[in-house]
Every structure is written in structure tokens, then in C-alpha cells.
Amino acid sequence: MKVFNTEAEWRPIWASIFKENKKIGFVPTMGALHQGHLDLVAKSTASMDVTLVSIFVNPTQFNSSEDFKNYPLTLESDLAQLEEAGAAYVFVPSVTTLYPQPTRLRFDFGDLEQVLEGKFRPGHFHGVGLVVAKLFHLLQPNRAFFGQKDLQQVAVIKRLVQDLSFTVSIEVVPTRREKDGLAMSSRNMRLNQDERQQALLLYTQLAQAKKDLLTGIPWDQVRAAVEEVFSKATNCQLEYVALVHPETFEIFDSFTQDGPRSICIAAYVGQVRLIDNLPIIQ
């Protein structure tokens, strides 16, 4: 496995891969890797000729300086895991490599960034679009792999690819969960033992909401029940729970089975903000 830090190092490698007509699978990460990330790497190694991973904690997508400062950094462990998982190349750029000067360009994803994550994290999707566009442009992968847990981010990236005519294809990999159902997340590292147990509320409420919807209980009642459970929980603050179209992120006031539907949720557990989602109809 080769680790590189600049575009100049990558260009001759990419040219050699291109000359051999090999296809590059790309897994962009911010490090602090867990099995969910490694699932993406496994998908790439199983279907692509070469697997490339990036590790970069992107400052432009944090709308909280405290959140950025507290993001876990585990580079040595990350690299060891990636080598064992079969990654061929790992791009670890500095901030000045990706942002040699302040960027003036602004991404506006329209309706996609007016709701849920876009509403509660203003500027977040601009930062996501900016760094992903830079990575796609610099690295020129054939396919990129993203986790379903960040469902709205996936929708944003698909729109980015479509609107800017990137040739990279996007593959979405199902959320990897702990045995008790908690969605794997780098942020879980910041939870203490009690908070880790409390964080299960996100998944248990999603699962109950899905069950209730499919047995005919109206969405407004289902949503109210979730909100009530969180209102009584200790150290958990619900930010939103919503029924959405998983690609357009249209928010629905009632549940019908005439198209794909997912439930999305976000909540603070202590000081740690967590998100999750479950598909109801795919």
C-alpha cells in the first residue's frame, strides 16, 4: 500500500493505471475508521482493479469549530486497517494541499440543503460539495463508494456528479451497525459508556417507527410517539425525525407506498450529534 500526500505524486500513478486500462475505486473518508468504512473498501476491492482511499478532515464542512477540533484523529490505526483491507493507495493531503488559497466559489444545492442536515448545519453541504469536487477532479476515480448512513450527503453528491458532469459513478453501501443496532460512526468514539447506551434510542425508535408505519399507523402519530420518547429520555435531545424521499429529500406529511421512503433522525447524545436513517420502501 502506498501513502501519498500531493497531486504531483498521484499523477504518474494514475497515468500508469489508466494506461493499463484498470478501473479505480475511491473511498473518501475523514479517518477515524470503523467497519462501515472498511465495508466500502471491501466493495471497492471486490469490484474494481485498484482501490484508493482518502483521509482528510475537511474544515469547510464543519459549521462548528468545536466539532472540528474534537473530531478524532487516528491516522496510524487507519493506515494499518486499510493495508489489511487491501487498499492499494491512500491519499492523506494537508489542508494547504486541498485549499492552497481561500475558495470563493459557493455550492448551492437548492432544495436539498434547505431541509434536515442542510437546515440544521448551514454551510455543511457547501463544504461537502467543495471537497468531493476537488477530490474527484484531482484523483479521477471511476467509481466512488459512500455509506447509506449519510443519506442526504449521498443525495447531494449524486446531484454534484450529475450537474457538473463528473464521469465517476456512485455506489451506495448499506449502513453497518453494531450488534445492538447502533449505526457505526466515527463520532461514537466520543461517547462515554452511559451515552453509548443512550445512543441506541436513535435506532430503536427508527425500527419502531418503521414497524408502526408498515402496520398502518399514520405518520403524524408515529412521529409524535418518537418525539415523546425523546422528550422523556435523559441526556438525549431530538433535533428532527422526518419521513423523506431518499433521493430528492422531499418531506412527507403522510405515508404512502407509491415510491421510495426513508425515515431520517438526528439527535444530540450528551455533546455528540448523531444521525441515522432506515429505508421503509426502496
Taking the domains of the chain in order of start, what are their residue ranges? 2-173, 186-276
Burial of 160 (0-12, 13-18, 19+ CB in 10 A): buried
Residue 37 known to be catalytic: yes
- What's the pLDDT score for residue 63? 82
Nearest-angstrom CA–CA distance, 194 and 272? 13
Closest CA to 278 of 212, 232, 195, 230: 212
- Give residues with Cβ within 8 angstroms of 78, minimum separation 6: 29, 31, 32, 33, 55
Other CB atoms within a 10 A radius of the CB of residue 65 amount to: 9
In this predicted structure, what is the pLDDT of residue 156?
97
Q: Among 37, 126, 137, 245, which one carries the catalytic annotation? A: 37
Confirm if 76 and 35 have CB atoms less than 8 A apart. no
Thinking of the domain 186-276, which architecture would CATH place it in? 2-Layer Sandwich (3.30)
Q: What is the pLDDT of residue 250?
A: 96
**The predicted structure's pLDDT at residue 67:** 86
Which CATH superfamily groups domain 2-173?
Answer: HUPs (3.40.50.620)
Q: What pLDDT score was predicted for residue 270?
A: 96
Coil vs helix vs strand at 77: helix
Q: What is the pLDDT along the chain (282 residues), one digit of tens a residue?
A: 999 999 999 999 999 999 999 999 999 999 999 999 999 999 999 999 999 999 999 999 998 888 898 899 999 999 999 999 999 999 999 999 999 998 999 999 999 999 999 999 999 999 999 999 999 999 999 999 999 999 999 999 999 999 999 999 999 999 999 999 999 999 999 999 999 999 999 999 999 999 999 999 999 999 999 999 999 999 999 999 999 999 999 999 999 999 999 999 999 999 999 999 999 998
